[in-house]
């Protein structure tokens, strides 16, 4: 049960309306006007961060124990004009749009019009990226063949390891000084660059201490007017803690949580990297403090839970910075995708589950707000009891926790050369992305619309939706004499498109490395200090670029239809079928039904379809994996769509599997909607034929009727289902436990379903906050019914 | 040898221990008024026709080499006497409005299907459940597939009405890990009235199985207003005690699955008119019956 304080904090956070705050934009603009050109870029960025830490409005709310906000108030969202400068029209759209709107005040509009837009036009990163991309890139981008992650937000997907609980900023500063001492200006031509970066890191450490001390001072001021003795006590404790961390390492649970939160805020104030920031293995990090406090008698379990719940509310207060245009279509959500790992393994390979892991499940159950997302990490050493507890939570239908296979993610990381200990200390962040926590920049670069590449292959490089040539010529359909000929042409298209995408990424990557370093984030990620290099410039121990492949279900089923009906049984001429597709099956419902009902589809444990999936997966892997980035390392692939399968579907004509034009593609690595008709074990068997260890993550959505997992025994069977999938090499599985009737009713009466959380992609969202397309998409997912 | 199967359900979690694959064998000597698998009663293969899915494209009519299909006014007529089960019509139907009720499998083919979920069986202590219909009706095939499962270490369950010769139970007793044994009525007259056969053989076979130290779970479908009377419950308990049963009892709530299926079935014989059972068990009633069994020392579970 939540106590009164938590109930009030939760309620307040739930009810707070997202606003745009122009404060950060205004401070940044004034700072750049004054200082641009005076310093090297890293130092300029660090001083900009320091300026924010010194001047941003700070907030300590009633009842709070853990303090600090990214903006001036809860859910007041700062903007980042140095990356993307919203236009006045953008702001109006954000204010007026019916779904996921952000209030924009008159005052903020004026500031944008007078100060911010005039300065940043032509100077923002986005303004420097878009006009510089090649024609080839623009043609493919506009047609929805791929997306670009970094045109509006900074590269991110960053997760911390345990070092901030063992080191304060003082210790980091000492490390930075040592690195500076080692600089060799006689023989190393990079020494100057390194010095600038290290100076910038030093400034950032000081900046976050200033930010913390301002909170301490504010708490002390608030003590003056406070009459409630309990609150006086709380405020004094807040002040004491904020004077201590993050300058010094934490020693109590309260200090450790506040330490994390200040660091978290620092990284998301500095830049708006994708997926906010993630604490990593929070249960493992906090457990020693919990144990010490409880054993020492200074804290009991309920008090510990209260502190954790205060942190949970803080996450929920941080609404995602608003996107516009294509990126808004990719993910229109208030969720900023923090994803907390629970369970898993320790560095030494022993089981990571502890008392706090169970306590966190309780916290999640009680708070169940939009944010933070969470997942459980299940290894071969994880106790069944823990998985069962998590399954009970899954049954409640919040859409979280999602479930990851630690053994598989460790293998994924070892495959690409990470140390075994670093791999175990890693896990998943964002939706399903694998990374070594605290030691890696694993940058998502954008989604790839794989079914669209088949469409381009069938149309010889012309986008049938626009009639424009957007890709290379790989042969007329009439020339494809066999299925193999078709696949060969597809391979050429794929290779060309991936090359264009990677060239674009590499260009953008250099812009970030040169123009938008993140010195504060660099302090926190291992080896940036030792290397004297920025997080965005190859500083971390590991540097990975991911391309996320969408629509494996749709393309597999489409190729399966072509293989069977066109090439094997010759029931349909290829050119005639392409004609039918380009007319969106108009007047051809019988053909459409035939394709839908008489084709082996992925997701049914049918090798005829699953072998095609494997072949395409292998082609994607051969094409993407190992491509060079600009940091001396390489690209890998993810099988993830987030909500991009809906956007990509809109950009895709009808497909040979009977899918109509503009409707969603299959999501993640899940089967096409309704294509899987043999239950969850068959889906899992199909998925397990994908060599998932070659990816940086796959995503499997399963929707269950609540009645299917009713009762103790059903929970046990759900646990067994998950564990079998993991034994077979599955990376991830997540569940929606809700019936279609409820969802349809929620569409009709949204006011009655304000807190209905559903699993969307690698995160949960309020169903009523989703636009109609995404709502329909979730309803269309196959329901695993009672047998 | 080949068997006729009318359904295979994977991730079956209410038909025995663990995660199971349930195989439904066609044909049943009983004809229970509440039967929820009426498509499994007749032995031979036949068809389902779903008028709602039908596009009236005439593909089935055109494809039939025997010329025995016609469609008029939203209904299909198949002259089953002429049908050779070549399946051309079913393959041609673009919308799956016309589907087979009953597919022939060799024991090897069926075993391949069963084996697909063996990783789930291993993890959960599950396996295969043979249900129907009455699986004993295709005894030789059943025996062959049971043997194959046992050779490969797959856990087996047999969901049976108990209405088969004692020899058949004798021959399968070592091949079945758990018998899911239906007891529907205590009284013989009721049994004949509602299922079409006497329960004497059923009780005899139960006694036989119990004497052979095999695992038996009793399953009682509770049909509202028909066999959920206090009298029948007490009578059932009396019989169970009489035959020396002291194990697990599963009470199965009634759901009307048959009405929709019956509308879609195309068969040679018209099933006899069903008594309309349009109510569900109340939770209170289920709980009460559960308590009665518990008070008599049985381990009781509501559901499979």
Q: What is the pLDDT of residues B114-157, one digit of tens each?
A: 999 999 999 999 999 999 999 999 999 999 999 999 999 999 99
Q: Cβ–Cβ of B22/A787 closer than 8 Å?
A: yes
A94-108, A406-420, B41-55, B269-283: range with lowest mean pLDDT: B269-283
| Terminal Cα distance for chain A, rounded | 36
Q: State mean pLDDT over A448-465.
A: 98
Specify the pairing of strand B155-160 against strand B178-182.
parallel
A435-444 exposure pattern, b = at least 16 Cβ within 10 A, e = fewer: bbbbbbbbbb
Q: Cβ–Cβ of A590/B123 closer than 8 Å?
A: no
What pLDDT is stored for residue B276 in this prediction? 60
Q: Any idea of the CA torsion for A299, A305, A309, A315, to the nearest 10 degrees?
A: 80
Cα–Cα distance measured from residue A667 to residue A326, given in angstroms and rounded to the nearest whole number? 18
Cα–Cα distance measured from residue A632 to residue A538, given in angstroms and rounded to the nearest whole number? 8
Specify the pairing of strand B2-12 against strand B20-25.
antiparallel
Q: For residue B74, what are its two tokens? A: 């939203």
pLDDT surpassing 70 at residue A326: no
For residue A351, give the nearest of A319, A393, A389, A379 by alpha carbon: A379
Q: For residue A176, what are its two tokens? A: 């930075």
Q: State mean pLDDT over A245-258.
A: 98
Q: Round the average pLDDT of chain A to a whole number and report it.
A: 95
> Which residue's entry shows tokens 């696949």?
A487
Q: What percent of chain A has pLDDT over 90?
A: 85
Q: What would the DSSP string read from start to end of A267-303?
A: HHHH---TT--B--BHHHHHHHHHHHHHHHTS--HHH
Q: Which residue has the higher pLDDT, B269 or B267?
A: B267
Q: Cβ–Cβ of A682/B22 closer than 8 Å?
A: no
Residues of chain B found within 8 Å of residue A786, distances taken between Cβ atoms: 14
B13 interface with A at CB cutoff 8 Å: yes
Q: Cβ–Cβ of B124/A786 closer than 8 Å?
A: no
What long-range pairs does A477-481 form, CB within 8 A, spacing at least 24?
A477/A574, A477/A575, A477/A578, A478/A574, A478/A575, A480/A574
Residues of chain A found within 8 Å of residue B22, distances taken between Cβ atoms: 787
Phi/psi for A720 (5° steps) reads -65, -35
Distance from CA of A340 to the nearest CA of B (A): 28
Distance from CA of A682 to the nearest CA of B (A): 8
Cα–Cα distance measured from residue A320 to residue B86, given in angstroms and rounded to the nearest whole number? 60
Contact between residue B139 and residue B169 where contact means Cβ atoms under 8 Å apart? no
> Which residue's entry shows tokens 């209410």?
B14
Residue of B11, B55, B122 with shortest CB distance to A679: B11
Q: For residue A304, what are its two tokens? A: 């510990």
Residue of A594, A685, A717 with shortest CB distance to B13: A717
For residue range A104-147, list pLDDT tens digits in order.
999 999 999 999 999 999 999 999 998 899 999 999 999 999 99
Contact between residue A676 and residue A781 where contact means Cβ atoms under 8 Å apart? no
Q: For residue B127, what are its two tokens? A: 């396996």
What pLDDT is stored for residue A308 in this prediction? 98
Q: How confident is the model at residue B274 (pLDDT cuts 50, 70, 90)?
A: low
pLDDT surpassing 90 at residue B87: yes
pLDDT surpassing 80 at residue B304: no
Sequence-ordered alpha helix ranges (H) in A56-159 = 88-96, 106-111, 117-120, 125-129, 135-142
Which residues is B182 bridged to in the sheet? B219
Cα–Cα distance measured from residue B264 to residue B39, given in angstroms and rounded to the nearest whole number? 9
Spell out the residues 6+ positions from residue A773 whose beta carbon is closer than 8 angstroms to its own. Answer: A646, A650, A664
Secondary structure (H, E, C), chain B: CEEEEEEEEEEECCCCCCCEEEEEECCCCCCCCCCCCHHHCCCCCEEEECCCCCCCCCHHHHHCCCCCEEEECCEEEECCCCCCCCCHHHHHCCCCCEEEECEEEEHHHHHHHHHCCHHHHHHHCCEEEEEECCHHHHHHHHHHHHHHHHHCCCEEEEEECCCCCHHHHHHHCCCCCEEEEECCCCCHHHHHHHHCCCCHHHHHHHHHHHHCCCCEEEEEEECCCCCCCHHHHHHHHHHHHHCCCCCEEEEEECCCCHHHHHHHEECCCCCCCCCCCCCCCCHHHHHHHHHHHHHCCCEEEECC
B14 interface with A at CB cutoff 8 Å: yes
Phi/psi for A762 (5° steps) reads -85, 25
Q: Cβ–Cβ of B57/A590 closer than 8 Å?
A: yes
Q: Cβ–Cβ of A682/B59 closer than 8 Å?
A: no
Q: Cβ–Cβ of B94/A591 closer than 8 Å?
A: yes
Residue of B19, B91, B303 with shortest CB distance to A717: B19
Q: Cβ–Cβ of B10/A724 closer than 8 Å?
A: no
For residue A638, give the nearest of A555, A547, A699 by alpha carbon: A547
Q: Is A246 helix (H, G, I), strand (E, B) or coil?
A: coil
Contact between residue A322 and residue A102 where contact means Cβ atoms under 8 Å apart? yes
A720 interface with B at CB cutoff 8 Å: yes
Residues of chain B found within 8 Å of residue A605, distances taken between Cβ atoms: 116
Cα–Cα distance measured from residue A786 to residue A433, given in angstroms and rounded to the nearest whole number? 32
A143-157, A382-396, A611-625, B208-222: range with lowest mean pLDDT: A143-157
Q: How confident is the model at residue A785 (pLDDT cuts 50, 70, 90)?
A: low
Q: For residue A482, what are its two tokens? A: 């066999």
Which residues is A735 bridged to in the sheet? A702
Q: How confident is the model at residue A6 (pLDDT cuts 50, 70, 90)?
A: very high
What pLDDT is stored for residue A325 in this prediction? 58
Give the angle subtended at the CA of A155 by the CAs of A151 and A160, to the nearest 5°.
160
Q: For residue B107, what are its two tokens? A: 């024991």
Q: Round the average pLDDT of chain B to a whole number and report it.
A: 93
A320-352 exposure pattern, b = at least 16 Cβ within 10 A, e = fewer: bbbbbebbbbbbbbbbbbbbbbbbbbbbeeebb
pLDDT surpassing 90 at residue A712: no
Q: What percent of chain A has pLDDT over 70?
A: 99
The DSSP secondary-structure symbol of A601 reads: -
Residues of chain A found within 8 Å of residue B18, distances taken between Cβ atoms: 717, 720
For residue A762, give the nearest of A330, A357, A464 by alpha carbon: A330
pLDDT surpassing 80 at residue A148: yes
A597 interface with B at CB cutoff 8 Å: yes
Q: How confident is the model at residue A778 (pLDDT cuts 50, 70, 90)?
A: confident
Specify the pairing of strand A468-469 against strand A462-463.
antiparallel
Q: How confident is the model at residue A328 (pLDDT cuts 50, 70, 90)?
A: low
Q: Cβ–Cβ of B123/A717 closer than 8 Å?
A: no
For residue range A600-611, list pLDDT tens digits in order.
999 999 999 999
B62 interface with A at CB cutoff 8 Å: no
Helix (H) or strand (E) holding A727: helix A712-727
What pLDDT is stored for residue A390 in this prediction? 97
Residue A372: cis peptide before it, omega within 30 degrees of 0:
yes
Residues of chain A found within 8 Å of residue B9, distances taken between Cβ atoms: 679, 787
Q: For residue A626, what are its two tokens? A: 């190992």
> Which residue's entry shows tokens 């907030």?
A59
Residue of B93, B94, B120 with shortest CB distance to A721: B120
Q: For residue A58, what are its two tokens? A: 């700070």
Q: State mean pLDDT over A514-543.
A: 97
| Terminal Cα distance for chain B, rounded | 31
Q: What would the DSSP string read from start to end of A168-186?
A: -HHHHHHHHHHHHHT--TT
Helix (H) or strand (E) holding A414: helix A406-415
B231-240 exposure pattern, b = at least 16 Cβ within 10 A, e = fewer: ebbebbbebb
Q: State mean pLDDT over A716-733.
A: 96
What is the number of other CB atoms lying within 10 angstroms of the CB of residue A15? 9
Contact between residue A517 and residue A41 where contact means Cβ atoms under 8 Å apart? yes
pLDDT surpassing 90 at residue A783: no
Q: State mean pLDDT over A636-651.
A: 93
For residue range A188-206, list pLDDT tens digits in order.
999 999 999 999 999 999 9
Q: State mean pLDDT over B62-76.
A: 89
In terms of residues, how long is chain B?
A: 304
Residue of B14, B19, B96 with shortest CB distance to A720: B19
Q: Any idea of the CA torsion for A678, A679, A680, A686, to the nearest 10 degrees?
A: 0
Contact between residue A782 and residue A703 where contact means Cβ atoms under 8 Å apart? yes
For residue A16, give the nearest of A54, A57, A71, A55 by alpha carbon: A71
State the catalytic residues of A: 431, 433
For residue range A357-389, list pLDDT tens digits in order.
999 999 999 999 999 999 999 999 999 999 999
What pLDDT is stored for residue A728 in this prediction? 98
Residues of chain A found within 8 Å of residue B119, distances taken between Cβ atoms: 685, 724, 727-728
């Amino acid at each position: 049960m939540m106590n009164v304080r938590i109930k009030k904090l939760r309620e307040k956070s739930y009810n707070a309306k997202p606003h745009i705050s122009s404060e950060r934009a205004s401070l940044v603009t004034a700072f750049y006007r004054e200082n641009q050109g005076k310093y090297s870029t890293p130092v300029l960025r660090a001083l900009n961060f320091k300026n924010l830490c010194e001047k941003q409005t700070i907030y300590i709310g009633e009842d709070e124990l853990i303090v600090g906000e990214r903006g001036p108030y809860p859910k007041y969202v700062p903007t980042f004009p140095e990356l993307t400068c919203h236009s006045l029209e953008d702001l109006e759209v954000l204010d007026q749009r019916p779904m996921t709107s952000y209030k924009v005040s008159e005052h903020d509009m004026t500031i944008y019009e007078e100060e911010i837009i005039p300065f940043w036009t032509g100077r923002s990163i986005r303004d420097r990226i878009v006009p510089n991309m090649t024609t080839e890139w623009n043609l493919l981008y506009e047609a929805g063949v791929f997306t670009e992650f970094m045109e509006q937000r900074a590269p991110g997907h960053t997760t911390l390891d345990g070092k901030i609980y063992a080191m304060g900023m003082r210790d980091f500063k000492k490390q930075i000084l040592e690195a500076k001492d080692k600089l060799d200006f006689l023989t190393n031509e990079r020494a100057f660059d390194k010095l600038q970066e290290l100076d910038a890191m030093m400034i950032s450490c000081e900046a976050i201490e200033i930010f913390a001390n301002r909170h301490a001072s504010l708490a002390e001021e608030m003590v003056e007017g406070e009459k409630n003795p309990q609150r006086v006590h709380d405020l004094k404790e807040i002040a004491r803690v904020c004077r201590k961390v993050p300058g010094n390492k934490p020693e109590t649970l309260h200090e450790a949580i506040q330490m994390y939160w200040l660091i978290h805020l620092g990284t998301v104030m500095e830049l708006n990297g994708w997926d906010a920031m993630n604490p990593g293995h929070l249960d493992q990090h906090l457990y020693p403090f919990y144990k010490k406090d409880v054993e020492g008698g200074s804290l009991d379990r309920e008090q510990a839970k209260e502190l954790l719940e205060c942190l949970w509310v803080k996450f929920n207060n941080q609404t995602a910075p608003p996107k516009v245009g294509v990126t808004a279509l990719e993910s229109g959500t208030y969720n900023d995708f923090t994803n907390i790992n629970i369970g898993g393994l320790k560095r030494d390979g022993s089981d990571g589950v502890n008392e706090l892991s169970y306590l966190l499940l309780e916290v999640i159950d009680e708070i169940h707000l939009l944010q933070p997302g969470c997942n459980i990490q299940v290894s071969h050493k994880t106790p069944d009891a823990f998985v069962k507890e998590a399954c009970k939570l899954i049954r409640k239908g919040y859409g979280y926790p999602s479930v990851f296979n630690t053994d598989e993610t460790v293998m994924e990381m070892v495959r690409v050369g990470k140390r075994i200990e670093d791999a175990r200390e890693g896990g998943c962040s964002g939706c399903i992305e694998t990374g070594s926590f605290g030691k890696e920049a694993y940058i998502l670069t954008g989604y790839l619309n794989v079914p669209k590449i088949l469409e381009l292959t069938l149309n010889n490089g012309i986008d049938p939706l626009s009639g424009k040539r957007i890709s290379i010529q790989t042969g007329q359909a009439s020339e494809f004499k066999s299925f193999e000929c078709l696949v060969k042409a597809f391979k050429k298209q794929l290779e060309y498109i991936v090359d264009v995408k990677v060239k674009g990424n590499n260009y953008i990557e250099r812009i970030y490395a040169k123009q938008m370093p993140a010195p504060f984030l660099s302090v926190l990620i291992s080896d940036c200090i030792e290397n004297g290099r920025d997080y965005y410039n190859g500083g971390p121990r590991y540097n990975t670029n991911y391309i996320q492949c969408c629509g494996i279900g749709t393309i597999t089923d489409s190729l399966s239809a072509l293989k069977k009906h066109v090439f094997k049984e010759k029931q349909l001429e290829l050119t005639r079928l392409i004609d039918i597709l380009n007319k969106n099956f108009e007047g051809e419902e019988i053909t459409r039904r035939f394709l839908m009902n008489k084709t082996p589809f992925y997701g049914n444990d049918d090798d005829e379809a699953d072998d095609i999936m494997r072949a395409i997966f292998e082609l994607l892997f051969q094409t993407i994996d190992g491509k060079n980035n600009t940091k001396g390392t390489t690209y890998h692939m993810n099988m993830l769509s987030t909500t991009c399968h809906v956007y990509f579907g809109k950009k895709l004509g009808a497909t040979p599997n009977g899918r109509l034009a503009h409707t969603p593609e299959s999501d993640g690595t899940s089967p096409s909607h309704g294509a899987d008709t043999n239950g969850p074990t068959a889906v899992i068997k199909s998925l397990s034929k994908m060599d998932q260890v070659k990816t940086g993550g796959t995503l499997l959505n399963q929707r269950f009727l609540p009645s299917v997992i009713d009762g103790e025994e059903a929970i046990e069977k759900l646990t067994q289902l998950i564990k079998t999938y993991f034994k077979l090499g599955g990376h991830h599985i997540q569940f929606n436990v809700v019936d279609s009737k409820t969802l349809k009713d929620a569409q009709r009466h949204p006011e009655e379903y304000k807190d209905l959380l559903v699993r969307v992609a690698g995160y949960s969202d309020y169903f009523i906050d989703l636009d109609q397309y995404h709502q329909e998409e979730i309803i269309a997912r196959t329901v695993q019914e009672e047998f | 040898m080949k068997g006729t199967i009318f359904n295979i359900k994977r991730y079956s979690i209410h038909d025995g221990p663990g995660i199971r694959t349930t195989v439904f064998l066609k044909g049943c000597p009983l004809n229970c008024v509440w039967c929820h698998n009426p498509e499994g009663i007749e032995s031979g293969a036949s068809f389902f026709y779903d008028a709602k899915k039908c596009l009236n494209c005439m593909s089935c009519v055109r494809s039939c080499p025997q010329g025995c299909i016609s469609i008029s006014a939203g209904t299909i007529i198949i002259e089953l006497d002429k049908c050779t089960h070549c399946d051309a019509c079913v393959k041609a139907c673009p919308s799956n409005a016309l589907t087979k009720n009953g597919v022939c499998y060799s024991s090897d083919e069926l075993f391949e299907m069963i084996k697909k979920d063996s990783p789930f069986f291993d993890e959960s202590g599950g396996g295969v459940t043979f249900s129907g219909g009455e699986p004993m009706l295709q005894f030789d095939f059943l025996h062959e597939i049971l043997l194959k499962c046992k050779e490969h270490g797959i856990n087996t369950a047999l969901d049976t009405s108990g209405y088969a010769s004692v020899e058949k139970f004798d021959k399968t007793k070592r091949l079945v890990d758990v018998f899911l044994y239906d007891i529907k009525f205590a009284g013989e007259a009721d049994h004949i009235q509602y299922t079409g056969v006497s329960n004497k053989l059923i009780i005899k076979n139960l006694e036989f199985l119990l004497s052979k130290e095999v695992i038996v779970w009793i399953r009682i479908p509770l049909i509202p207003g028909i066999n959920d009377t206090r009298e029948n419950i007490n009578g059932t308990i009396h019989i169970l005690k009489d035959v020396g049963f002291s194990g697990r009892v599963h009470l199965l709530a009634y759901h009307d699955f048959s009405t929709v299926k019956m509308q879609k079935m195309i068969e040679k014989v018209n099933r006899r008119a069903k008594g309309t059972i349009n109510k569900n068990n109340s939770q209170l009633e289920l709980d009460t019956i559960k308590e009665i069994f518990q008070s008599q020392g049985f381990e009781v579970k509501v559901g499979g």
